[in-house]
């Protein structure tokens, strides 16, 4: 009985072992045939060739419907490695105009999975991009000599207007990180690199199609599989309509030739950016085609950094363009009324501290202080707020209240424009000064320069223009944006919604009036345009590294604003020297469509003026 028991037990052990082996085989077969499609792909690749059909990238128009960016055909040389047979590499190199060393480098990189993660012997690989039409013509006659190679049609961007490179951006070949982040892309594809090409990439790129071709036993293409029954057509990318007025953009860029700085023009009621200029700039067509890499390196090495977008990334002291924020804050906090007068004996003098100013009447109330850009007035207002311990408890607490009002007006943080790379500027808080000077050891006089837009305060030209648009609207703004419409869809909701600062709307009209007075008989008289009522504010921003910067912000028409503009010219001196005349020309050109004869001399002077000699590669 014992022996029979052992045999019975052994039978179950052997049976269980056989079942386990069977299960292992079944799982492995399932993995090979169902879960893992690698072998299916190998089998399919023997019978089928799936050819990607690339969609047309969306066309870009300006606000008036003018075509700005469009497509032209381009050609890439592709390889299916398993189909490559011995061929004359010298003949191919000569036809393509490349060296044998270049050929070998491309061949090696194509097969290196650390560089090309999608490499497979059985799938199409990109060998050479952006062939010219001439190269394509030569190759068409010789392709039979190079088995495994074929030509893939793609698109390149082209430009009707050779301006606005910082807005439009460019496209580039995808990187390894792009391939890992988005399975839409395959090696050799293109993606938006900067500007709206990047921020609206998913709208512009479209949807790829596929054409399934059938092979014979020798790998030769015999035609479409089942007459194209399983083919998928490519879906073109969506077209964009910019808020930019391309002719205004072009004109504004011409005014900034041989100058460093930026211009931002906004339609106040919509937040639509009419012009966004950085200077120096460059021709966007430089970053298209086979020479893209070479030209990019050239621009990187060019003095004055044409690739650097000063309009949204430049950190500048706002200077006296910051004074309207001070007026609004002091009114809101009850520090001043419209009749409050402060002295200015050619500046702010308190104890041993002196902040200089120019000669004008003294003492004076708020509106004339805005009209004359009085430093003394805004320094005294700042001191009376920051040092009012009876109301705020301490200078630090008062400063936080002050800072929060200024933040609500668009400073210190990104506004959220629909372009990559926007910077926030810098607005210090109380902790910043307590760390620098010691808690309780600083007061208004310690940081008095921030009251007139100097010291630690910096802003982007976009933020300055947005403040001007807020005053033009008498108390609200919409997040600035450069895209007005997207085909068959809507732009993001934040580009419709009004944003309200912490300042009561009733305080904006008097500040706007002070800016109007500055144009009629103050620091902005060069902005006075016949039949177009303009309001403005100059800024002369001190520069510890050289000549002062020239700044201006203004809007028009005064009672029904259609444009708000900010101009910033590095090392331009007084605000009235460059900022005011350039800003007024932008306003007139947009509202009239031309510059009146009486103001032609101002236009000529600004077009020919130079503060720096730029490289031939920068505009």
Mean of pLDDT values over 468-496 = 95
Measured in degrees and rounded to the nearest 5, phi and psi for residue 346 equal 60, 40
- Domain boundary among the residues 213, 242, 271 is at 242
pLDDT of residue 17: 73
pLDDT of residue 537: 97
- Of residues 340 and 229, which shows the higher confidence score? 340
pLDDT of residue 42: 45
- Of the candidates 78, 77, 55, 38, the residue with the CA atom closest to the CA atom of residue 210: 55
Residues 180-210: tens digit of each pLDDT? 899 899 878 889 999 999 999 999 999 999 8
Residues 323-336: tens digit of each pLDDT? 999 999 999 999 99
Q: Please tell me the distance from the alpha carbon of residue 194 to that of residue 309, in angstroms, as a whole number.
A: 11
pLDDT score of 226 more than 80: no
pLDDT of residue 222: 60
User: What pLDDT band is residue 144 in, cutting at 50, 70 and 90?
Assistant: confident
Clarify whether residues 325 and 447 are in a common domain: yes
What one-character DSSP code corresponds to residue 286? G
Crossing angle for the helix pair 323-332 and 395-408, nearest 10 degrees? Answer: 120
Q: Looking at the domain assignment, is residue 3 inside a domain?
A: no
Q: Looking at the domain assignment, is residue 40 inside a domain?
A: no
User: What pLDDT band is residue 29 in, cutting at 50, 70 and 90?
Assistant: low
Q: Looking at the domain assignment, is residue 33 inside a domain?
A: no
Residues 498-538: tens digit of each pLDDT? 999 999 999 999 999 999 999 999 999 999 999 999 999 99
Provide the mean pLDDT of the chain. Answer: 89
Tokens linked to 589: 């050109």
Tokens linked to 268: 């106040």
The range of the structural domain enclosing residue 273 comes to 246-552+560-608
pLDDT score of 218 more than 80: no
pLDDT score of 46 more than 50: yes
pLDDT of residue 274: 98
Q: Please tell me the distance from the alpha carbon of residue 378 to that of residue 157, in angstroms, as a whole number.
A: 51
pLDDT of residue 5: 55
Q: Looking at the domain assignment, is residue 31 inside a domain?
A: no
Instruction: Provide the 3-class DSSP secondary structure of residue 170.
Output: coil
Crossing angle for the helix pair 395-408 and 375-386, nearest 10 degrees? Answer: 120
**Phi-psi map region of 569: left, alpha, beta (phi>0 left; psi -120 to 50 alpha):** beta
Residue burial 112-137, b: 16+ Cβ < 10 Å; e: rest: eeeebebbbeebbbbbbbbbeeebbe
Residues 149-185: tens digit of each pLDDT? 888 888 889 999 999 999 999 999 888 889 889 989 9
Which of 65-79, 282-296, 469-483 is predicted most confidently? 469-483
Residues 447-467: tens digit of each pLDDT? 999 999 999 999 999 999 999
Q: Is the peptide bond before 545 cis (omega within 30 degrees of 0)?
A: no
pLDDT of residue 1: 44
Q: Please tell me the distance from the alpha carbon of residue 512 to that of residue 524, in angstroms, as a whole number.
A: 13
Residues 343-375: tens digit of each pLDDT? 987 788 887 788 888 878 789 999 999 999 999
- Sequence-ordered strand ranges (E) for 201-285: 209-215, 221-224, 240-242, 261-267, 272-279
Q: Which domain CATH number covers 499?
A: 3.40.710.10
- Residues comprising the chain, all counted: 619
pLDDT of residue 140: 83
Clarify whether residues 63 and 201 are in a common domain: yes
Mean of pLDDT values over 244-259 = 97
Q: Where are the alpha helices (DSSP H) in 393-456?
A: 395-408, 430-437
Clarify whether residues 302 and 206 are in a common domain: no
- Domain boundary among the residues 208, 242, 276 is at 242
- Of the candidates 236, 72, 234, the residue with the CA atom closest to the CA atom of residue 155: 72
Clarify whether residues 229 and 303 are in a common domain: no
pLDDT score of 31 more than 70: no
Out of 206-215, 237-246, 296-305, 464-473, pick the least confident: 206-215
Q: Could you write out the DSSP letters of every residue in 97-147? A: T--HHHHHHHHHHHH-TTT-TT--TTS-EEEEEEE-HHHHHHHHTTGGGST
Q: Please tell me the distance from the alpha carbon of residue 552 to that of residue 434, in angstroms, as a whole number.
A: 33
pLDDT score of 60 more than 50: yes
Q: Within a 10 A sphere around the Cβ of 221, how many other Cβ atoms?
A: 13
Clarify whether residues 410 and 311 are in a common domain: yes
- Of residues 313 and 218, which shows the higher confidence score? 313
- Domain boundary among the residues 242, 276, 296 is at 242
User: What pLDDT band is residue 235 in, cutting at 50, 70 and 90?
Assistant: very high
């Amino acid at each position: 009985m014992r022996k029979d028991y052992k045999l019975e037990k052994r039978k179950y052990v052997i049976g269980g072992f056989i079942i386990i082996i069977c299960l292992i085989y079944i799982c492995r077969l399932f993995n090979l045939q169902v879960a893992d499609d690698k072998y299916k792909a190998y089998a399919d690749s023997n019978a089928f060739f799936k050819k990607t059909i690339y969609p047309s990238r969306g066309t870009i128009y300006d606000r008036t419907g003018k075509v700005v960016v469009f497509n032209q055909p381009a050609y890439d040389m592709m390889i299916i490695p398993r189909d490559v047979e011995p061929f004359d590499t010298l003949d191919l190199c000569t036809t393509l105009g490349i060296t044998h060393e270049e050929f070998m480098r491309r061949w090696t990189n194509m097969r290196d999975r650390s560089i090309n993660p999608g490499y497979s012997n059985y799938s199409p690989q990109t060998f050479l991009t952006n062939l010219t039409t001439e190269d394509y013509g030569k190759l068409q006659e010789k392709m039979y000599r190079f088995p495994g190679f074929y030509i893939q049609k793609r698109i390149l961007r082209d430009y009707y207007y050779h301006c606005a490179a910082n807005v439009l951006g460019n496209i580039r070949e995808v990187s390894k990180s792009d391939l890992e982040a988005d399975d839409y892309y395959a090696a050799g594809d293109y993606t938006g690199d900067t500007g709206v090409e990047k921020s609206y990439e998913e709208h512009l790129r479209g949807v790829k199609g596929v054409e399934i071709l059938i092979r014979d036993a020798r790998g030769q293409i015999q035609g479409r599989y089942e007459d194209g029954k399983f083919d998928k057509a490519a879906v073109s990318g969506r077209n964009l309509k910019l808020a930019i007025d391309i002719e205004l953009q072009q004109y504004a860029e011409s005014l900034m030739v041989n100058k460093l700085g930026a211009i931002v023009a906004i339609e106040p009621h919509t937040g639509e950016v009419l012009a966004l200029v950085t200077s120096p700039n460059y021709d966007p067509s430089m970053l298209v085609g086979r020479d893209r890499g070479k030209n990019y390196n050239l621009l990187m090495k060019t003095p004055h950094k044409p690739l650097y977008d000063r309009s949204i990334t430049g950190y500048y002291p706002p200077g006296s363009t910051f004074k309207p924020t001070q007026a609004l804050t002091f009114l809101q906090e009850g520090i001043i009324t419209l009749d409050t007068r402060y002295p200015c004996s050619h500046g702010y003098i308190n104890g041993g501290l002196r902040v200089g100013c120019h000669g004008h009447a003294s003492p004076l109330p708020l509106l004339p202080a805005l009209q004359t850009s009085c430093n003394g007035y805004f320094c005294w207002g700042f001191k009376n707020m920051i040092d009012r311990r009876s109301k705020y408890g301490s200078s630090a607490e008062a400063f936080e209240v002050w800072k929060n009002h200024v933040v609500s007006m668009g400073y210190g943080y990104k506004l959220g424009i629909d372009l990559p790379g926007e910077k926030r500027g810098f607005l210090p808080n109380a902790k910043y000064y307590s760390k620098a000077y010691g808690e309780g050891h600083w007061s208004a006089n310690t940081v008095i320069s921030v009251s007139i837009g100097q010291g630690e305060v910096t802003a982007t030209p976009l933020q300055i223009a947005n403040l001007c648009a807020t005053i033009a609207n008498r108390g609200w703004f919409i997040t600035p944006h450069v895209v007005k419409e997207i085909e068959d869809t809507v732009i993001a909701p934040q580009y419709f919604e009004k944003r309200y600062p912490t300042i009561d709307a009733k305080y904006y009209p008097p500040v706007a009036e002070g800016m109007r007075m500055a144009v009629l008989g103050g620091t902005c008289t060069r902005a006075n345009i016949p039949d177009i009522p303009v309001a403005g504010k100059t800024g002369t921003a001190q520069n510890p590294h050289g000549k002062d910067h020239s700044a201006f912000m203004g809007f028009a028409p005064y009672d029904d604003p259609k444009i708000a503009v900010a101009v910033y010219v590095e090392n331009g001196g007084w605000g009235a020297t460059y900022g005011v005349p350039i800003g007024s020309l932008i306003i007139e050109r947009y509202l009239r469509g031309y510059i009146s004869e009486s103001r032609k001399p101002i236009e000529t002077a600004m077009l020919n003026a130079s503060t720096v000699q730029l490289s031939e590669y920068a505009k």
